[in-house]
C-alpha cells in the first residue's frame, strides 16, 4: 500500500540552518505564486503569503483582520486560541477603530524623540551590566548576563514595574511565548501577569507617578479605560518590550561572532554604520518567525490568488525579508547594506509600537558589548546551542560565551 502524503505543507516547518528560515519556505516563495495553503497545528489550512510585496500589501489591507476571536483566524497554537477567547485581549489582536483607540493612548510615549530621551538610561544600564559581567564568572551565559536584563530593566523603568519582580514576569512571559504551552499553563500565566499589573495600576491610582503605568492609571481614573483594559495594554508592553529585543541581542551577537569582518564594522563603526548593521540583523533574523496572523473579512486577491472572506492568512515576514525581488543576495548578512525596508517590525496599523526603543537598545548594546570584550567568543559549537524553535520569538535559550 502506498502512503498517502499530504500535499499541503505543514507550517511552521523545521529549520535546516538555525540562522535561516526553512528552505521549503523559500521554495514556496520562488516556485509557486508565493501564496499557497499550509496546514497548521489544528489541521486547518490558511493561506501562507511569502513574497515581500504581497506581505506588505496584506499588512496594510484593512480587509485582513487581526481579531483573533473571528472564525477562521489562524492562531499560532492551541493555548493562543484559548487565550484570545478570554476577557483581556490587548490591542495587537483588535482592528481599527477599536485598536486605534488603545494605541493612540500610548503612541506619544514611543515617538523617536521621546525614546531618544532614554539614551542616557540605556547607556548607563548597558555599562552597569557589562561591568557586572566583567566582574562575574567567565564563561557565562550572555542571555542571562546581558541580553535579557537590558530590555527587561528598560521596559521596567518605562512602565514603572519593579525590576525586583523580573524572575516572576520573565517566567510568565516565557510561558506565553512558548507555542507548546498547555492551555491551562498559558491561561494561568496570563492571569497572573495581568492581576499583577492591575495591582500596580491600582497602586498608581492611589499614589500617582510619572511612568506608563501612571499614565494608564490616569486613564482609568478619567473613565477612559477599565482596569482590565489598562492592564492588558501594560501586559502587551511588558512582554513585547523584553522578549523580542533580548532575542535580537543574543542571536544578533551569535550571528556577528560567526562573521568577524561584519563584527568589526559593528564594533568599530560610526553611528550610521551601526544603525545600518542593526537593520540588517533585524532583517535576516526576523525573530518573530511564525508569521503575522490575519483573517479575511472580505474576498480579496493576493499574489494572483483569491482569498475568500473567513479564510485565514499567515504573512511570512521571515521569508518576505529574504525576497530576492527586494534585496540582492538576500540570504547573506551584509551589515553595510543601504536602504533596508524590512518588515521585521511588521507594517501597517499594527507596525511595532516599540520599534524606536528596540532600535535604541540594539544600537547601543551591540557595539558596547563588542568593544568591552574584544575577545568575546562562543564556547560551544552551534549544534550544542538551544535555539528557540518552539517559541513565538526566535533566538537562543542560552548563549555560553567566554571573554
Ligand atoms: C527587536 C525587537 C522587536 C521586534 C522584532 C518586534 C516585532 C513586532 C512585530 C512584527 C509587530 C507587529 C505584529 C503584527 O502585525 O501582528 C509588533 C507589534 C508590537 N510591538 Fe514590537 N517588536 C520589538 C520590540 C518591541 C518593544 C521594545 C516594544 C515595547 C516597548 C514592542 C511593543 C509592540 C506593541 C505594543 C505592538 C502592537 C502594535 C499594534 O498592534 O498596534 N515591541 N512588534
Cα(119)–Cα(314) distance, rounded to whole angstroms?
Answer: 36
For ligand 1, atom 16, the nearest C-alpha belongs to: 292
Alpha-carbon distance values, 286 to 66, 244, 390 (Å): 20, 10, 15
Alpha-carbon distance values, 130 to 15, 151, 244, 372 (Å): 32, 14, 20, 7
| Residue of 103, 238, 239, 352 to test ligand 1 pocket, by largest number of atoms within 8 Å of CB | 352
Cell (9 digits) for 47 = 493561506
Sheet holding 377-378, edge to edge: 140-141, 400-402, 377-378
CA triplet 207, 208, 214: central angle to 5 degrees?
130
Residue partners of 167: CB distance under 8 A and separation at least 6: none
Question: pLDDT value at position 1?
Answer: 47
Q: What is the pLDDT along the chain (403 residues), one digit of tens a residue?
A: 445 666 899 999 999 999 999 999 999 999 888 999 999 999 999 999 999 999 999 999 999 999 998 999 999 998 888 766 555 789 999 999 999 999 999 999 999 999 999 999 999 999 999 999 999 999 999 999 999 999 999 999 999 999 999 999 999 999 999 999 999 999 899 999 999 999 999 999 999 999 999 999 999 999 999 999 999 999 999 999 999 999 999 999 999 999 999 999 999 999 999 999 999 999 999 999 999 999 999 999 999 999 999 999 999 999 999 999 999 999 999 999 988 999 999 999 999 999 999 999 999 999 999 999 999 999 999 999 999 999 999 999 999 999 9
Cell 521621546 sits on residue = 114
The Cβ of residue 121 has, within 10 Å, a number of other Cβ atoms equal to: 14
Cell (9 digits) for 34 = 508565493
Q: Which residues line ligand 1 (CB under 6 A)?
A: 66, 91-92, 103, 155, 236-237, 240-241, 244-245, 248, 287-288, 292, 344-346, 350, 352-354, 357-358
Q: Can you state the angle between helices 355-372 and 260-268, rounded to 10 degrees? A: 100
Question: pLDDT value at position 87?
Answer: 57
Domains and CATH numbers, the chain: 23-402 (1.10.630.10)
Cell (9 digits) for 322 = 529574504
Q: How far is the CA of 5 from the centre of ligand 1 (A)?
A: 37
Question: pLDDT value at position 85?
Answer: 56
Question: pLDDT value at position 79?
Answer: 85
Of the candidates 354, 318, 378, the one whose C-alpha atom is nearest the C-alpha of residue 155 is: 354
Amino acid at each position: 500500500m502506498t502512503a498517502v502524503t499530504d500535499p499541503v505543507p505543514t507550517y511552521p516547518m523545521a529549520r535546516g540552518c538555525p540562522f535561516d528560515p526553512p528552505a521549503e519556505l523559500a521554495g514556496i516563495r520562488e516556485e509557486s505564486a508565493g501564496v499557497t495553503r499550509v496546514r497548521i497545528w489544528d489541521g486547518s489550512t490558511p493561506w501562507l503569503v511569502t513574497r515581500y510585496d504581497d506581505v506588505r500589501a496584506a499588512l496594510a489591507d484593512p480587509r485582513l483582520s487581526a481579531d483573533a476571536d473571528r472564525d477562521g483566524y489562524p492562531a499560532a497554537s492551541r493555548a493562543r486560541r484559548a487565550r484570545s477567547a478570554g476577557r483581556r485581549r490587548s490591542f495587537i489582536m483588535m482592528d481599527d477603530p477599536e485598536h486605534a483607540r488603545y494605541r493612540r493612548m500610548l503612541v506619544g510615549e514611543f515617538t523617536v524623540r521621546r525614546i531618544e530621551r532614554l539614551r542616557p538610561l540605556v547607556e548607563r544600564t548597558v555599562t552597569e551590566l557589562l561591568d557586572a559581567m566583567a566582574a562575574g564568572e567567565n564563561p557565562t551565559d550572555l542571555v542571562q548576563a546581558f541580553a535579557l536584563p537590558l530590555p527587561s530593566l528598560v521596559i521596567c523603568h518605562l512602565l514603572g514595574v519593579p525590576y525586583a519582580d523580573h524572575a516572576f514576569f520573565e517566567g510568565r512571559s516565557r510561558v506565553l511565548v512558548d507555542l507548546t504551552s498547555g492551555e491551562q499553563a498559558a491561561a494561568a500565566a496570563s492571569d497572573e501577569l495581568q492581576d499583577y499589573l492591575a495591582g500596580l495600576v491600582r497602586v498608581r491610582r492611589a499614589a500617582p507617578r510619572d511612568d506608563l503605568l501612571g499614565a494608564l492609571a490616569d486613564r482609568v481614573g478619567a473613565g477612559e479605560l477599565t482596569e482590565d483594559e489598562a492592564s492588558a495594554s501594560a501586559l502587551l508592553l511588558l512582554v513585547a518590550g523584553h522578549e523580542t529585543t533580548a532575542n535580537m541581542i543574543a542571536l544578533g551577537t551569535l550571528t556577528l561572532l560567526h562573521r568577524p569582518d561584519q563584527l568589526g564594522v559593528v564594533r568599530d563603526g560610526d553611528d550610521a554604520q551601526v544603525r545600518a548593521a542593526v537593520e540588517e540583523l533585524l532583517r535576516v533574523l526576523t525573530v518573530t518567525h511564525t508569521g503575522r496572523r490575519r483573517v479575511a473579512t472580505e474576498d480579496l486577491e493576493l499574489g494572483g490568488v483569491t482569498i475568500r472572506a473567513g479564510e485565514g492568512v499567515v504573512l511570512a515576514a521571515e521569508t518576505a525579508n529574504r525576497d530576492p525581488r527586494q534585496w540582492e543576495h538576500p540570504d547573506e548578512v551584509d551589515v553595510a547594506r543601504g536602504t533596508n525596508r524590512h518588515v521585521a517590525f511588521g507594517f501597517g496599523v499594527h507596525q511595532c509600537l516599540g520599534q524606536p526603543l528596540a532600535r535604541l537598545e540594539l544600537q547601543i548594546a551591540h557595539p558596547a558589548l563588542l568593544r568591552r570584550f574584544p575577545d568575546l567568543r562562543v564556547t560551544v559549537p552551534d549544534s550544542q546551542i538551544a535555539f528557540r524553535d518552539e517559541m513565538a520569538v526566535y533566538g537562543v535559550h542560552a548563549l555560553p560565551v567566554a571573554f
